[in-house]
Every structure is written in C-alpha cells, then in structure tokens.
Amino acid sequence: MPFSEVIAQDRAIGSLRAALRRGTLHHAYLFGGPLGVGKGTAARLLAQAANCTGGAAPGAGHGYRDDPCGECPSCRKVAKGAHPDVTVLAEERVMAKAGRWEPKGGRTPSKEIVVDQVRDLVDHRLAMRRFEGRRRVVIIDPADAMNVQSQNALLKTLEEPPDDTTLVLVSSSPDALLPTIKSRCLRVAFAPLPQAFIEQRLVAEGHPAESARLAASLSGGSLGRALELDEKLLAARRGSLERVAALDPGDAGAWVAFARDHGEDREAAAELGELLLVWWRDVLAVQAGGDGLALADLAGATRRTAAALSPAEALRRRTLVERLLASLRQNATAPLALERLLIGWFHGR
C-alpha cells in the first residue's frame, strides 16, 4: 500500500484517495506544509495512482485506483521519472544537474524555476496529446522556487488547464506564492509531524535519546529538518542557550556581545529563537509543576529561572521570543533584533 509510506497525514491522504476513487481529481492542487513531511512523495504517488495499470481495474465509472500498485510498467516509469505523461519541474540548477534541462544560451543554471522552464511546459509538453497514461500530472516541486515571471507564465494554464491534467504545486512556504496562483489551486494541508514521532524515528536511527529529543523539538514538525540537525550543531545551539540563560540583567555589555556573536547569520539567530521558545516552554512547565522537560540537560538553569520569575513574567519573555522570530522572518537585522529581545527581557515591563 504505497500511500502508507506517507505517515501521519491521514487527512491529506484521505481526501486525495477519495478524489482518486471518485475520479474527481482537481485540475490544480497546492500541497502545503513543512519540509520533509511527505508532500513530494504524496504528489508522486498521486501521479502513479492516476496512471496505474496493475491489479484489478477500478470499478465502473471514471475512478482511478486509490493506491498505486508500484509494480506495473506505468508505476515504475513514474518512479524513475520516465513516464511521458508525468512531468516534474524543479529548480533549473537541479534539473540541469540531472541532465533533464539545458539553460538557453549556455547561461549558468538558476536556483529558481525560470520562465523558460514554465514556457517549455506550457507551450510544448502540455500542448501535446497524452501518450499512454490516463491522466497527465505535472508536479512543481518546490513551487515557491518559481519567480514572479514564472508564476505569471503558469497562470493561464491554471485557469484553463488541458483536459485530464492535474498540476500539483508542492511548497513548504505556500504563502510566498502569488495570490493569483494560490486562489486557482485546491489547497491540501500537510500537517507538521508530531514531535514524539520524530523523536522515535531519530532514536530508531541511532541518535542518542537526548539529542533526538532536542532535534525533534527544534524541527518544526519536519523530519527532514530534524535529520539535518547534527550533533555538532545541536551542541552549539545548546551552548548558546546556556549562555543566554546565564546572562546578567545588569550587564548590558554582555547582552550586546551576545547579540553580536549570535546575529551574524539570520538563520542561526532564528534557530536560537526556536530553541528559546522550547526552553521557555520548559520554564513555564516547571512553574506549573510539570516534569518531562524537552531540554532535560538544562534542567538546572531552567529550574533557577522558573524560581526567579513569576509565571506572568516568563510568559512575557516567551512572547518576546515569538516577536523576535516574527521580525527575523520580516528580514530584521539579526544583531539588532536579538538586542531588542534582551532589552525587552531585562528592561521591559
């Protein structure tokens, strides 16, 4: 049962399988959700199911198989990227490297999905008749790699798609797409994976329990992201957290130094922010009399902070971390944003 490869997405998969059975596939889907939760796999399985020729034929009417067999020639071709009616569009650089695309005029391949790629899709591939499959499927993954020009070049196709064609836009930041694109797609939400599930998977793959737990709490529900967090990075993040937990409210020079050291790279500052959220959640849990801390090896600092502050103050500081993350997403300068956080913590009301 290949759709069972996609774990903990019962709602998204359930609605897709029902549409397959009824033969009512939409002409354009937007699969949105965190990285590494199975959106791309689901898109490929949908393409396989809609063209699967194995096993018993689907019932009367126009339905498709609601799970691909994975074995028939059609399923194999989709898996190999060799099915003539299933097209996958990725960043120009990725497709060039795979030998599936050549940028015009010997240009260096872009890290975006460029308008030439979309025009090739629209003007050539989609203009041809279907070859052998029952339904043509175009997967654009990651859809947010399309620049504005590319998205505009796709609009008309989303509005008036060719018959028996489904486009699947896959994106971990669907809100970055143009509103005109989003409004023409049926949104299928893929949920963040449960933390406990990610933790178990990491432990099963041989990660020590403590770092599995930390990586799971930093992963934002993305197994892909949790797997990327290696031991060294986790140790560095933990060190930063210890340092911030030990900052002296009276020593402004130390805050400035901390903000400077951790503000060099916005992504690292954001990861520290995510970790601080987890830590404040632990502080609040201790204050509420709970146990089972996410950051068990910081329990000492956590308990000291929990004892020193009122729950209202801990909550206020946690809210300021949320504000830090929001301002980093809006491209705030990281050292200044971190400084503002610390001023808010130690001087705010």
Residues engaged in binding Zn ion (CB under 5 A): 52, 54, 68-69, 72, 75
Please count the other Cβ atoms lying within 10 Å of the Cβ belonging to residue 285.
16
**Among 84, 18, 8, CA closest to 41:** 8
349 burial (CB, 10 Å; 0-12 / 13-18 / 19+) is exposed
145 touches 111 (CB < 8 A): yes
E strand segments, the chain: 28-32, 86-89, 136-140, 165-171, 186-189
Q: What does the block give as tokens for 127?
A: 């203009």
Closer CB to Zn ion, 13 or 293, in the complex: 13
Smallest distance, Zn ion to C-beta of residue 29, A: 21
Nearer to Zn ion, 76 or 318 (CB): 76
Residue 121 is which amino acid?
L
Closest to Zn ion by CB, 52 vs 188, is 52
Query: Which residue in this structure is represented by tokens 């025009």?
Result: 119
Residue 188 Cβ, how far from Zn ion at the closest point, in Å?
A: 22
Rounded to the nearest whole angstrom, what is the least distance from the CB of residue 53 to Zn ion in the complex?
Answer: 6
Q: 218, 275 in Cβ contact below 8 A?
A: yes
- Rounded distance between C-alpha atoms, residue 168 and residue 46, angstroms: 9
d(CA 119, CA 122): 5
Shortest distance, position 14 Cβ to Zn ion, whole Å? 20
Pick 54 or 192: Cβ nearer Zn ion: 54
What contacts 308, CB < 8 A, 6 or more positions away?
Answer: none
Query: Closest distance between Zn ion and the C-beta of residue 71, in Å?
Result: 6
CB of 51 to Zn ion, least distance (A): 8
Q: Is 68 or 263 the residue whose CB approaches Zn ion more closely?
A: 68
Q: Minimum CB separation from Zn ion for residue 128, in Å?
A: 23
CB of 126 to Zn ion, least distance (A): 24
Question: 130: which residues sit within 8 A by CB, 6+ positions away?
Answer: 85, 136, 164
Closer residue to Zn ion (CB): 75 or 295: 75
Q: Which is closer to Zn ion, CB of 3 or CB of 190?
A: 3
**CA torsion angle for 19, 21, 24, 27 (degrees, to 10)?**
60
Which residue lies nearer to Zn ion by CB, 54 or 103? 54
